[in-house]
């Protein structure tokens, strides 16, 4: 099978999507993918971050995680995005990163990237599905090959059964409500396996 380069690109204010990204990294590495985990740059002002203890703590704890760049997109055969919802849409930090890839898009370097996505919100119906679908709309413009988990494995039902991409609820205590680790790892493996087929064809 073809070796696959996977970029796991996330935005996380308090750590939920960072954890999803780490699980995706583990799942993909288990089947031999070369994985880079990258965060998109933070756009919020320092005073906003400092006013939220959980946000400030996560921001400080992940300062050493490299920022995502266009080079990471170009390097990757496959990309998994992990992003919280903001009013049922992609967080502005991730949206700005995607919007800044016009140069790659114009040169055809986003075509046939194999892409999947995950999301989180504070409520079970807080916009996770809409956020993933919104991100996939951009991927259609990229000419990417979208790989949703669908209902292709029983493990997905235990995580809430979102066919578009793993989604999770962050409780008021800051912890995840659903147990989605296995679903995230499965989604990562499925993404890599499809990328192997695309790359090897």
> Domains (ranges, CATH) in the chain?
5-200 (3.40.50.360)
Q: Is 151 exposed, middle or buried (0-12, 13-18, 19+ CB in 10 A)?
A: exposed
pLDDT at position 201 over 70:
no
Instruction: Give pLDDT, residue 1.
Output: 57
Q: How far apart are the C-alpha atoms of 80 and 61, rounded to whole Å?
A: 22
Residue 99 corresponds to which tokens in the numbers above? 């919007």
Residue burial 53-74, b: 16+ Cβ < 10 Å; e: rest: eebbebbeeeeeeeebbeebbb
pLDDT at position 96 over 70:
yes
Q: How far apart are the C-alpha atoms of 188 and 10, rounded to whole Å?
A: 14
- Averaged pLDDT, 26-50: 96
């Amino acid at each position: 099978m073809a070796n696959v380069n996977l970029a796991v690109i996330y935005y996380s204010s308090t750590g939920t999507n960072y954890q999803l990204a780490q699980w995706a990294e583990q799942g993909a590495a288990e089947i031999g993918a070369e994985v880079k985990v990258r965060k998109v740059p933070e756009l919020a002002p320092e005073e906003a971050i400092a006013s939220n203890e959980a946000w400030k703590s996560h921001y400080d704890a992940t300062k050493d995680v490299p920022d995502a760049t266009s080079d990471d997109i170009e390097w990757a055969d496959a990309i998994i995005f992990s992003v919280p919802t903001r009013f049922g849409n992609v967080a502005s930090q991730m949206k700005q990163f995607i919007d800044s890839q016009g140069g790659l898009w114009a040169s055809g370097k986003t075509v046939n990237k194999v892409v999947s996505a995950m999301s989180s919100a504070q409520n079970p119906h807080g916009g996770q599905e809409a956020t993933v679908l919104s991100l996939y709309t951009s991927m259609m413009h990229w000419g990417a090959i979208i790989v949703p988990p669908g209902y292709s494995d029983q493990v997905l039902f235990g995580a809430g059964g979102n066919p578009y991409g793993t989604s999770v609820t962050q409780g008021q205590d800051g912890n995840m409500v659903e147990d989605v680790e296995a679903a995230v790892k499965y989604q990562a493996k499925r993404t890599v396996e499809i990328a192997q087929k695309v790359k090897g064809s």
